[in-house]
Every structure is written in C-alpha cells, then in structure tokens.
Amino acid sequence: MKMLESIYIMAYRQIKRFVRAKSRVAGVIINNILWLLFFGLGWAYTLRGQQFQVLFKGLDYLAFLLPATFATSIFQASFMGGISVIWDKQFGFLKEVLVAPAPRSLTILGRALGDSIVSLLNGLIMLAFGFALTSKLNPAGLPMALAIGFVMAVGFTSMGIAIASTMRSPEGFQLIVGTITMPMTLLSGAMFPLNMTPEWMQILALVSPLTYAVDLCRYFLTGVSFLNMVYPWLTQEVEALLLVVTSLALMVIAMRMFEKTTIE
Amino acid sequence: MEFDIVVENLVKRYGSVEAVRGISFQVRKGEIFGFLGPNGAGKTTTIHILSTLLKPTSGKALVAGYDVVSEPNMVRRNIGIVFQDPSLDDNLTGYENLYIHGRLYGLNGQGLRERIEEALKFVELWDFRDRLVRNYSGGMRRRLEIARAMLHTPRILFLDEPTIGLDPQTRVHIWDYIRKLNREYGTTVFLTTHYMDEAEMLCNRIAIIDHGKIIALGTAEELKSMVGSDIVYVKLAKPDPDICSKLSIAGVDSCKVVEGGTVALQVKKASEAIPAILLHLDRLEIRVTEVSYRRPSLNDVFIHLTGREIRDSEGSFIEVARMRHRARMR
C-alpha cells in the first residue's frame, strides 16, 4: 500500500502540473494542428492518386501518417518530460522529494507514470484530429493503440528521466533531446515506408524501439504492418514483446540513475 | 540528558577542499540550537549531511538516535527541513504543496486534511491556501515551507538560514513561529544563520562555526562573557583629561578617555551603573551631554575569536541603547 502511495502522489503531481500549465496544453494542441495541416495535408495532396496507393499498401497518405504521428507525438512528449527533473533541480523541489522517507525509486516511477499519462493525452489529442481528417482509421483498434502508446510512453519518459538525472541545465538536455528525437522520428517509418529505404537505414531503424511502436500503432488502427511485410519474423507479438522489454529496461535504468542523483 | 543530534568528528571533503573539518557537538531534546557563522563556513553542508542529502567523508552523526549513513530512512521519517533555497512547487497551490508532502510522508485521508489545516493556520496562510505558490511573496513562501516542514510533526526541525532575504517584520514573524513550534510541539530545532540577532533571539545554545570548525559553543551569555563586560560611553560638555581620577566609584572597572571628551567606562551591568555614574558626575557639577552604552555582541565574540567580522550581515546586531541625558542646569 505504502509503495502505491508514493507512486500515486508523484503521478498526481505531474498530471496536476500539466493541467495547471494552460500554455503548455495550448501549445501541444496548436503544434498538433500545425503539423497535421501543413505536413500531413501537404503530402496527402502531393501523393494523391492510385499509383501512390501501392507505396502505402493500399492506404492513402493520411491514413498512413496519422497512426504513426500518434506514436511519434507520444515519443517526443515523453522524452521531453525528463526536463521537469532538471527544472525541479533548479527550482529546488527535487530536494523536497529526495529528503522524504518515500523510496526514491518509487517516487521516480510515479513521476514517470504521471508524465506517461500526460504524453498519452497528448497523443490522444493528435489522434482525435486524425479521426476528424480521415475516415480510414479503425476505431476498434483504439484500445490496443492506447496500450502500445502507454508502454512506449513509460519507456521514453524513463529514458528522458535517466538522461536528465545526470544533467544540470535545461539547455543541455534540450540539445540532447534534439539530437536523439530527430533521427529516431525520421527513422521510425512514420513519414515514409521503411521498406523502400536502403538496407543500412533499415537496420538502424530496427534498433530503435520507436520503429516498433509506430508499426504497431499503424497495424492496430489501419490493419497494415510494414515491418511484418519485409521481415516475416517480426509479427505483432514479437514487436510488442520487444517494445515492452525495452520500456521495462529503460524504466529500471531510470530508477537506478535517479537513486544516485545528489544535490551536489 | 537526552540528545536528539549527536555529531562526532564530522568531516566533509569536496576534492581537496574541506568544507567541514571535524566538528563535534550535541543537540539536546527540545532545544533550539544554532550554527552561527559567515557564508561558506560549512553550515549548509552540515545540515545536508544531517538530513541525509549528503554523505560525510568521515565521522559519525546520529539524528533522532539513527545513523545518517546507515539508517537514512529512519532519519528522514523523524526530521523536517526548510532549505536555504526555495524548494516549493511554484505551479501548485499552497494546499497542494502540503498535500503532496503529506502523502510522501505516509499521511492521508481526514488525518492529512486536518494536519494541513492546522499547519496552514499556524503560519497564517489558511486564507491563501488555494493561491498558486508562484503568486506568493517571499515571506509567504518561507512560511509555507515552515508549515510543510512541520506537517508530519517531525521530532527535529532543520532550518537553513530561515530568514535570509526577508524584510525585518517578516523575520520577526518567522522567529515567532519557530519559538511557538518549539514551545507547543516540543520540536527540537537546529538552525543555521549568519545573523547575530537571529542566533541571539532564538537559540538556547549557539555554536560559532568558521572555516568548517566550531570555534566556540555555549549560550549567548556565555559566549559574550568571553569578551567581557558592558561599556558605557559618557560625553562631557567640556573635555576633562583628569576625569578618570574623578570617576573611581564602585561598579566602574576601568576608565578610558576617548576623543572628543568622551569617556569609555567598563562596567559589569550598564543598567545599574549608569544612574550611579550620572549621580556622581552631577554632584561634581560636571555636565554631561550624552550617555550611551554598548553590550558586547556576538559580533564582538566573533571578532575576538577570529579577528574578522561576520561578513555581509544585514540589520543592526549591535545593541545600542541610547539615552540622552540633559544635565540639570544650576
């Protein structure tokens, strides 16, 4: 009971903070709209026509892009969530948590869960626009997509926290976030089908857990898996397993790293 | 005698710099104990070690009977702390800050709600409970931090420079809360400060710390008696080089003429000596234009021990009572 208590209260805090920060909520929604409008619709109109449907295995570009954007937006929000650890260092709240009798590994777990829920909400907003823009998404796949979204959110939030635990300045963290999120997002197969890319690029893509998350979300929301078509051994079960294992590993790493955080 | 904090030969080294250089002291149960010293003397480092946030390089520290290194969780359960730098969540309300704190310390339900109300009323912030901390003033933040630190009724309260950067009125308020907390809840208080007046007004016992070492320890009175007695300054209407020979009366230990016709008299107790001195001078028909006296301050103690003043101190810590005396006209 006591364990759940510490997890719950830190999750509560992260969510409360997000809801309180109206500009952050507005920023998320506006970003999503702009991305979908200018990038999504832009390419959707460019790639209109039968000949392109072959590329996307029968999907139109919006149906191809939207489920993947759900995953990448969760990824970016989760990873960025780690920055709040640095803010807490700077504004001193971290000391309050470190000096409390609640175990540090549990307070950080609660924090990761709270931030995961926040980024899942983020993804849901994105997806709501998606459902408004195209009728090709399958609502029946939503629960599975949310489950995948949550698992990846926990993993990437943990990754953000682990990196933030070792850093002092938000600027430095932002730099790292930038250099990691951009290639991972581009390589995830969210914006173009990976099966057309050179082999070395595919190998790099397969190293990143985000690639599996994108493919799974697309599979559950549209019924098409691009990875499975190229690599028959990559069934949905294998992909899900890889994702869960990576997320758990990242979570344990984050807990370990945070235990070692000091105020020095 | 029961001790809430026992420190033996505590050392903290950062690389080649020794921030704390082998200090030993005990804090009694229910006492207000102060660490007085200039910035960089090792006060905050000591408080961070005692509150389990830093590991000592060597030495031993027991807080509430538990070792800070081997039993940090038991120590954490028994202490509350107000850090020198702010440590509140600005984006939450005062109430929410306390609520999260309470849950982290294992409180919940009705019991927690009652404790929050009591703590917020104690520091007179109940009416502001739903305001975001971002919109609190500096003094309100400090009070909220005190409320938070006392929320889980800790046995020992650590306060790191509790009134730094606050206006004089707010400081007096904070002192009142600390005294009340100590009196009503029997909380042992360990505080650090570089303000003489704060140490003197609040603390039962004071340890003067400089360059990571305790150089003196005792009550304010004991410390001041290291320097000596009160000094009375009498300004004469007409300078008189022979005045000292005329002032050999009981209660005056020594006499010295300082510039401008002022005499400095060393006395045991200024409040009793002044009337006697004035009466005596009046009989000799010597006119006095001004009388003042100075009690040795903790600053004098610090100067006496180190040859320096405690740096960047604010406020007037030298207690000077000025009494103007108009000599009766003949």
From B224, B249, B281, the end of a domain falls on B224
Instruction: Mark whether B175 and B301 lie in a shared domain.
Output: no
The answer to whether the Cβ–Cβ distance between B76 and A92 falls below 8 Å is: no
Q: Which residues of A12-32 are buried (b: 16+ CB within 10 A; e: fewer)?
A: bbbbbbbebeeeebeebeebb
The answer to whether A12 contacts B100, with C-beta atoms less than 8 Å apart, is: yes
CA B325 – CA B292 distance, rounded (Å): 10
Asked whether the CA dihedral B67, B72, B77, B83 is positive or negative, the reply is positive
B183 plus B280 within the same structural domain: no
Test B83 with A95 for CB contact under 8 angstroms.
Answer: yes
Question: How far is it, in rounded angstroms, from Cα A139 to Cα A126?
Answer: 14
Cα end-to-end span (Å), chain B: 61
- For residue B290, give the H/E element and its range: strand B288-294
pLDDT digits (tens, 9 = 90+) for B101-152: 999 999 999 999 999 999 999 999 999 999 999 999 999 999 999 999 999 9
In this structure, the answer to whether residues B125 and B262 fall within a common structural domain is no
CB contact under 8 A, A8 and B103: yes
In a domain, B102, yes or no: yes
Q: Are residues B195 and B262 in the same domain?
A: no
**Residues B142 and B261 placed together within one structural domain of the fold:** no
Residues B138-187: tens digit of each pLDDT: 999 999 999 999 999 999 999 999 998 888 988 998 999 999 999 999 99
Identify the three-state secondary structure at position A168.
Answer: coil
Which residue of A83, A96, A97, A262 to mutate against B (max B Cβ within 10 Å)? A96
CATH of the domain at B175: 3.40.50.300
Cα nearest neighbour of A1 on chain B: B106
In sequence order, the 6+-apart residues with CB closer than 8 A to the CB of A250 are A154, A155, A156, A158, A159, A162
* pLDDT digit string, tens, across residues B253-303: 878 787 778 888 888 888 888 888 888 888 888 888 889 888 888 887 887
B268 in the same domain as B150: no
Taking a C-beta distance cutoff of 8 angstroms, is the pair B185, B155 a contact? no
Q: Is residue B328 part of a domain?
A: no
Last residue of one domain, picked from the residues B224, B251, B279: B224
Q: How many CB atoms lie within 10 A of CB A125?
A: 18
- Domain range for residue B67? 3-224
Residue B114 lies in a domain: yes
* Residue at B329 is within a domain: no
- Do B145 and B201 reside in the same domain of the chain? yes
Q: Quick check: is B62 in a domain?
A: yes
| Interface contact flag, A92 B52, Cβ < 8 Å | no
- Select from A9, A95, A264 the Cβ nearest to the Cβ of B104: A9
Is residue B76 one of the residues assigned to a domain?
A: yes
Domain tally, chain B:
2
* Co-location of B187 and B303 in the same domain: no
B290 in the same domain as B154: no
Q: Does residue B219 sit within a domain?
A: yes
Q: What is the CATH number of the domain that holds B289?
A: 3.30.70
**Two tokens at B296?**
């040795």
**ipTM here:** 0.86
Are B194 and B288 in the same domain? no
Last residue of a domain, one of B224, B242, B275: B224
**pLDDT tens series, chain A, 264 aa:** 577 889 999 999 999 998 888 787 788 788 888 888 899 999 999 988 888 888 888 888 999 999 999 999 999 999 888 888 898 888 889 999 999 998 889 999 999 999 999 999 989 988 988 888 888 889 999 999 999 999 999 999 999 999 998 888 889 999 998 899 999 999 999 999 988 899 999 999 999 999 999 999 999 999 999 888 888 888 999 999 999 999 999 999 999 988 877 665
Cβ contacts of B261 within 8 Å, gap of 6 or more: B235, B236, B237, B238, B239, B240
Q: Which of B85, B108, B148 sits opposite A92 (nearest CB)?
A: B85
Question: Could you tell me if B138 and B150 lie in one domain?
Answer: yes
B232 plus B220 within the same structural domain: no
